[in-house]
Amino acid sequence: MVSRAQFIIAVALLAVAIGAAFLLLPSKPPGPAPEVVMDGGQFAQEHAQYKVSPPRGGPYDGYYDFPSLAPGDILRIRDRIASLEYDDRTRATAVVLSGFEGSDTLGDGLFFAGNLTGRYKIGDPVQITFHVVQTTVKYDNATVSAELLDEWNGKARESSPDGIPAGAIRRYG
């Protein structure tokens, strides 16, 4: 017969062993980031709807968000180049995708660092990859949380002051 004290000690040792095994077992690696694929027109609509929403909990006065993207997403925009122009003064290439034509916010295109006119031409199918990240900033005594496209206006852009890093665009198809 096992005494009550022996039973409690055995249960405690079992709990410690289970806890130690849980800590020592390799954890499951995180899955791949969700991938969202859009054409230029879909992205132009998404970008036009980027807005300030009511606070989503926490001490935020506002939350800038995309309607169908979330932090952690990898956005891939696939479309054909409609216009491509390098500017010596800004040291950036303006790339307009077919789906951007007529867009109020993207009609002038996306500006990539460096001269890409030797690598791409009008009509080329391309893919632009952005990583959606979240940041919090103080702005005029308000705390705002925002979803950003890292290569366009997030921390990744800091290493590419002349425009979106050229590595974010590549031929596709």
- Tens of pLDDT, residues 1-33: 656 655 466 545 444 445 554 555 566 666 777
**113 within a domain of the structure (yes/no):** yes
Mean pLDDT, the chain, rounded, equals 84
Q: Is the pTM of this model over 0.85?
A: no
**23 within a domain of the structure (yes/no):** no
Rounded to whole angstroms, the Cα distance separating 86 from 20 reads: 60
Rounded mean pLDDT, 32-39: 91
Rounded mean pLDDT, 150-167: 90
Q: Is 92 helix (H, G, I), strand (E, B) or coil?
A: strand
**1 within a domain of the structure (yes/no):** no
Reported as a pLDDT band with limits 50, 70 and 90, residue 56 is low
Alpha helices in 49-120 (DSSP H): none
Structurally, the chain folds into a number of domains equal to: 1
44, pLDDT greater than 80: yes
Q: Provide φ and ψ at 57, rounded to 5°.
A: 80, 170
Neighbours of 27 (CB within 10 A): 7
**19 within a domain of the structure (yes/no):** no
Predicted local confidence at residue 158, as pLDDT: 85
Domain range for 105: 30-171
88, pLDDT greater than 90: yes
Range scoring the smallest mean pLDDT among 8-12, 61-65, 69-73, 105-109 = 8-12
**2 within a domain of the structure (yes/no):** no
Predicted local confidence at residue 14, as pLDDT: 46
**136 within a domain of the structure (yes/no):** yes
163, pLDDT greater than 90: yes
Higher pLDDT, 52 or 143: 143
Counting Cβ atoms within 10 Å, is residue 7 exposed (0-12), middle (13-18) or buried (19+)?
exposed
**15 within a domain of the structure (yes/no):** no
**22 within a domain of the structure (yes/no):** no
